[in-house]
Amino acid sequence: MLTRRRLLVLGGLAGGAALTPMTRGLFTEPEQQARPMHVHDHGGRVPAVRTGATAAPFSVAMPLPPVLAPAISMPGFDLYRLAVQPATTEILPGVTTPVLTYGGQFTAPTIRARQGRRTLVTVDNKLGHEANVHLHGGRVPAASDGYPMDLIADGKSRTYDYPNAQPGATLWYHDHTHHMEAEHVYRGMHGFYLVEGADEQQLGLPAGAYDVPILLRDALLDDKGGLVFDPADPYNRPTLLANGKAQPYFGVAARKYRLRLLNGSTHRIFELTLGEGVEMTQIATDCGLLPAPVQVTKLVLSSGERAEVVVDFSRVPLGGRLILNDVSGPVMRFDVVRRAFDRSRVPDTLRAMPALAAATQTRQLTLSLDPVNIRALINDQVFDPNRVDMQVKRGSSEIWQVTNSDTNVGGSGFGVPHNFHTHLAQFRLLDRDGKPPLPGEAGWKDTVLIQPGETVRFQASFGDYLGRYVYHCHMLEHSALGMMGQMEIVS
């Protein structure tokens, strides 16, 4: 019989039932037992509190993640160095929170790359156990993709090679260690990787200090400020963070800003609004600029998705404030504190979106949870690194139809949302349940939300690299349970 507890384990359905050793069943595969116990995870025991330390909203300034400087710049590439290491941060003012980081920073340092110029990143693993780096949205050779079994042993280093042969986009990097991706990302292994497109500079969009990356996520903090990672109850993470701080404020000038919003949560779906329905001009989605700007009053971002908006704060009186709200409550506040010149603009057309080449293949994938066996499936199978689920021809274009069949998980009457992310491939949405996608989804994407019962069709382009790449639900508690497959790109 399906118990309520098992549903919680799988879907994170509403409710606050305490967990039992059942939760530990999430990670009992033999390969997992050999892994070291995690730091700060309360030994896998039930967290003592459901909500812990808190602070008054808007009591701390939102920082910008530091921009990483290259260790070496050569004519053909920039080489960066980044350590994976435990560190501490202050999510709440005056409260110390242990975290896992890239570069010692809870929102990892931002890497700024230029289209067409190669980036090398040497990662030194000082975590105490294995980890890796995946460049989400990057078109990179398989050996640099951060395949879930392709890990950096503790004490070892590894250099990732990113060609940046793709248009400008807000990418991000995060851990992808099989079965540990959710916990590692939750504990802080996430940061921005911005590709600056050659075509973007001419457009006159807000730039420099007016181009602001914001990593949004959630957390459950215990009464000492520790991050509670409870994969069985991912919806109980009530503290909302922007660039690593709980409900911060951010001082802005009365002018236009480009805001790069990333949902870096492992599970939450953000439904964002600004003030009392203030219009935002959406200019980009996951893989870069939209064909044309779109006026929106609400942005829905599932785990891993990005949206870029231009917000004109000159419409707010000096001294005024605008709150960015999630459907669950305030995320952060923009305080208009000074005047500034503004020669930036948002042109009527942003990026050409040529017609897609004819698709050579159509595939169907179905996402579902298996609450009885505590597994998460694609086409009724859990991820198996030794099984290739499909072969894709290099340079081809395919239509994938992905269905979320979880309308009634285990007979509970509850549906569970999923999303879907492809490595290597970028795609354009064709339809949702036969209806046209939203205008804000009109560009190239790599992650798409799929509501219970919904079927999404997209056409993907696979580029030139060969080898094995994964695709998965980006609600990382689900990919950790097996909702992931792999394709082999062949010549």
Where do contacts with ligand C2O occur on this chain (CB under 6 A)?
134, 136, 174, 176, 304, 421, 423, 470, 472, 474
Q: Min. distance of Cβ 423 from Cu ion in angstroms? A: 5
Binders of Cu ion among 24-53, rule CB under 5 A?
none
Identify which of residues 184 and 474 has a Cβ nearer to ligand C2O in the complex.
474
Which member of 475, 476, 481, 489 binds Cu ion (CB under 5 A)? 475
Instruction: By CB under 5 A, tell whether 457 contacts Cu ion.
Output: no
User: Of Cu ion, ligand C2O, none, which one sits near residue 176, judging by CB under 5 to 8 A according to partner kind?
Assistant: ligand C2O
Identify which range of 238-246, 331-339, 449-457, 475-483 contacts Cu ion by CB under 5 A.
Answer: 475-483
User: Of ligand C2O, Cu ion, none, which one sits near residue 260, judging by CB under 5 to 8 A according to partner kind?
Assistant: none
Residues touching Cu ion, count (CB under 5 A): 6
Segments of 302-423 assigned E as strands: 306-312, 321-326, 329-338, 361-370, 375-378, 390-393, 397-404, 418-422
| Contact (Cβ atoms closer than 8 angstroms) between residue 418 and residue 483 | yes
Identify which range of 31-39, 41-49, 280-288, 465-473 contacts Cu ion by CB under 5 A.
Answer: 465-473
Identify which of residues 179 and 421 has a Cβ nearer to ligand C2O in the complex.
421
End-to-end CA distance of the chain: 47
Identify which of residues 174 and 187 has a Cβ nearer to ligand C2O in the complex.
174
Q: Min. distance of Cβ 455 from Cu ion in angstroms? A: 15
User: Of Cu ion, ligand C2O, none, which one sits near residue 139, judging by CB under 5 to 8 A according to partner kind?
Assistant: none
Q: How far apart are CA 42 and CA 22, in angstroms?
A: 15
User: Of Cu ion, ligand C2O, none, which one sits near residue 268, judging by CB under 5 to 8 A according to partner kind?
Assistant: none
Using a 10 angstrom Cβ sphere, with 0-12 exposed, 13-18 middle and 19 or more buried, the burial of residue 201 is: exposed
Q: Min. distance of Cβ 382 from ligand C2O in angstroms? A: 16
Q: How far apart are CA 469 and CA 388, in angstroms?
A: 10
Identify which of residues 174 and 258 has a Cβ nearer to ligand C2O in the complex.
174
User: Of ligand C2O, Cu ion, none, which one sits near residue 174, judging by CB under 5 to 8 A according to partner kind?
Assistant: ligand C2O
Identify which of residues 117 and 423 has a Cβ nearer to Cu ion in the complex.
423
Q: Which of 417, 483, 486 is nearest to 453 (CA)?
A: 417
Instruction: By CB under 5 A, tell whether 478 contacts Cu ion.
Output: yes
Q: Min. distance of Cβ 479 from Cu ion in angstroms? A: 7
**Residue with CB nearest ligand C2O?**
136
Q: How far apart are CA 196 and CA 158, in angstroms?
A: 25
Q: Which of 288, 112, 290, 107 is nearest to 214 (CA)?
A: 107
Residues 6 or more apart in contact with residue 21 via CB below 8 angstroms: none
Residue-by-residue DSSP string for 260-314: EEEE--SS--EEEEETTT--EEEEEETTEEEEEEEEES-EEE-TT-EEEEEEEGG
Which member of 108, 301, 473, 476 binds Cu ion (CB under 5 A)? 473
Q: Min. distance of Cβ 285 from ligand C2O in angstroms? A: 15
Sign of CA dihedral 178, 181, 187, 193: positive
Identify which of residues 210 and 427 has a Cβ nearer to ligand C2O in the complex.
427
* Residues recorded for the chain: 491
Q: How far apart are CA 336 and CA 342, in angstroms?
A: 14
Which member of 6, 38, 117, 136 binds Cu ion (CB under 5 A)? 136
| Contact (Cβ atoms closer than 8 angstroms) between residue 263 and residue 43 | no
Q: Which stretches of the chain bind Cu ion, using CB under 5 A?
A: 136, 418, 423, 473, 475, 478
